Amino acid sequence: MEKKARFKQVFLFTIINYVGILIGIFSTLFIYPENKEFLGIIRYIESISQILFPIMVLGASHALINFYPALNEENKNRLFNYSVFSVGLLSVATFVVLLLASPFFNWGNLQYFYFAFPIAVALAFVELFKRQATNLEKLAVPTLFEKIIPKIALPVVFVLLLHKSSSVNVSIGYYIISYVLMFVLIAAYLFRNYKFRFNFDFKPLYAELSRKEYFRYSLYSFAGSFGSFFAFRIDSLMIPEFLSFDANGTFNIGVTLASALAIPATGVFALYAPIISNYLKTDNLKELNVKYIEVAKMLFCIGALLYSCIFLGIHFLFELLPTYESLAPSIPIILILGFNVLINMATGFNSEIISYSKYYRFNLISIFVLIILNVGLNLFFLKCTDLGIVGVAYSSLISMSIFNAAKLLFIYRTFKLFPFDYGFLKLALLFLFTGVVVYFLPDAPNKLLTLFYKVSLNAAVNVFLIYKLKLVYQVTFWVNKALTWFKR
């Protein structure tokens, strides 16, 4: 029953994320290209909020997942109380520091920090509430609010701006309100399903849980989260400084479309987090390795299927759209970053294994190495080449490949766990062979027909062969279930 409930949460999580990404894709294809400069400003503000909110959380959300399972019920409540209290206090402190420091900075884009602050506060509490929802295995509804509300709000704001119904600053204000609404709805849902009791007596909590270990883990998690921004989101800050907001908009169109590949991984990683933590705490490495291989293979299968379809069809699709001229510069970004996402999916939940083990400090080291790589490569491509945003995409691909390879090597040497087997190699060769064959097939008389037949043929052949060769358990299971249903 517990496994069935978990599967239902994963399924709902994935569906909700795909609904959100479909809204985002529609907006990216038909609305955002009409004003890429405003899109660049919005992504710039969001990137600043990604700097601020880890400071407000200070590792409390990761600590909630890590320490929660081992506590008694009363102390579980106290731990959540403490987490809420610390996020609120740190949010106020962050605002005070921002207010006091701003007169000393003569920077044209400083105003965007004030737009980013309320978004950061909302994100900080949403991050904490989502972690608690994960502990309760009630993640689907918070994910619905988190993924859908901003995805609907941004195109609405764009339409208002395009029709001159609001100014740029007012439009940004409307977008901020959508994050506040998201926070309120997630809080209401969580507290309806969780019997929260105010209790600010934390002495019994730290009698069961080592205060020193809690703060050590929280600070390392914070450093990892804060470092993750510079590793994964620094592009949206650097591009406007070296190029323009318009170039930032073009780059982020590519990021949005490439990120569609990562949705299954996001759901699986979030819902497997407590399971991984439990396996590590009980030293059940054998079962963990089985899950490691199973999940990596499943995610690679999904990611490779989607990426191969994008690779084969993206040019034909864009040429059919009225916004082709604005979208065309994003095609190489989509292909490079899409491959980057595929590599990350193929390596499974390696970050989670490290995060919830006693070796969690390694994540911090690897993140800071990634920061040096990514920032250094970005500076090289932006200042020493004429590749522009394509160079930034290559920077991300190179950095992330090295980052994932380092984590795989560390996990193998430390735990003797490895996500790849012979079946994984056969799966990769199958996708490569099918993609090459379909790519070199002749085009149909028109672009729409070419798009349809190449993408459909690629998907059908891959799924059929994966099923026949029994390369991925989940594919075999669902195809058999579908066949049984059709035979009724």
**Percent share of the chain, pLDDT over 90:** 22
The confidence band for 377, taking pLDDT boundaries of 50, 70 and 90, is very high
Q: Which residue has the higher pLDDT, 4 or 410?
A: 410
Mean pLDDT, residues 349-378 = 81
d(CA 252, CA 406): 27
Q: Are 380 and 441 in contact (CB under 8 A)?
A: no
Residue 393: the pLDDT is 92
Listing DSSP states for 250-290 in one string gives: HHHHHHHHHGGGGHHHHHHHHHHHHHHHHHHHTT-HHHHHH
- The whole-model pTM stands at 0.77
Burial of 454 per CB tally in 10 Å (0-12, 13-18, 19+)? buried
Residue 1: the pLDDT is 46
pLDDT beyond 90 at 484 = no
Give me 137's structure tokens. 């295995």
Mean pLDDT, residues 435-451 = 90
The confidence band for 360, taking pLDDT boundaries of 50, 70 and 90, is confident
Residue 455: the pLDDT is 92
pLDDT beyond 80 at 73 = no
pLDDT beyond 90 at 273 = no
Give 149-196 pLDDT, tens digit per residue: 988 999 999 988 988 877 888 999 999 999 999 999 998 988 888 777
Mean pLDDT, residues 89-110 = 81
Q: Are 455 and 313 in contact (CB under 8 A)?
A: yes
C-alpha distances in angstroms, 129 versus 64, 152, 232, 264, 323? Answer: 10, 21, 23, 21, 39
Give me 53's structure tokens. 């909110």
- The helix-helix angle for 389-415 and 361-384 (nearest 10°) equals 160
Which among 112, 87, 89 has a CA at the least distance from the CA of 102? Answer: 112
Residues near 144 by Cβ (< 8 Å), separated by ≥ 6? 16
Long-range pairs of 461-469 with CB within 8 A, sequence gap ≥ 24: 461/434, 462/304, 462/305, 462/308, 462/430, 462/431, 462/434, 463/305, 465/430, 465/434, 466/301, 466/427, 466/430, 469/426, 469/430
Give me 460's structure tokens. 């059908």
Mean pLDDT, residues 58-87 = 80
pLDDT beyond 80 at 3 = no
Which among 314, 368, 374 has a CA at the least distance from the CA of 338? Answer: 314
Least confident of 220-224, 253-257, 444-448: 220-224
Alpha-carbon dihedral sign for residues 263, 264, 266, 271: positive
pLDDT beyond 70 at 8 = no
Residue written as tokens 């510079």?
230
Q: Are 249 and 32 in contact (CB under 8 A)?
A: yes
Least confident of 80-89, 350-359, 403-412: 350-359
The confidence band for 379, taking pLDDT boundaries of 50, 70 and 90, is very high
d(CA 104, CA 100): 8
Long-range pairs of 170-173 with CB within 8 A, sequence gap ≥ 24: 171/38, 172/41, 172/42, 172/45, 172/115
Average pLDDT score over the chain: 84
**Percent share of the chain, pLDDT over 70:** 93
d(CA 356, CA 269): 12
Mean pLDDT, residues 231-249 = 84
DSSP character at residue 166: S
Give 454-477 pLDDT, tens digit per residue: 999 999 999 888 888 888 777 777
Give 9-61 pLDDT, tens digit per residue: 566 666 776 777 788 888 888 888 888 999 999 999 998 898 888 889 888 88
Burial of 280 per CB tally in 10 Å (0-12, 13-18, 19+)? buried
Residue 228: the pLDDT is 67
Mean pLDDT, residues 350-366 = 78
Q: What one-letter code names the amino acid at 312?
A: L
Domain boundaries, the chain: 15-216+228-233, 258-478
Residue 229: the pLDDT is 67
Give 320-332 pLDDT, tens digit per residue: 888 888 888 999 9
Q: Provide the CA 80 distance to its chain's centre, in angstroms.
A: 24
Q: Which residue has the higher pLDDT, 18 or 391?
A: 391
Phi and psi torsions of 160, nearest 5°? -60, -40
Residue 4: the pLDDT is 53
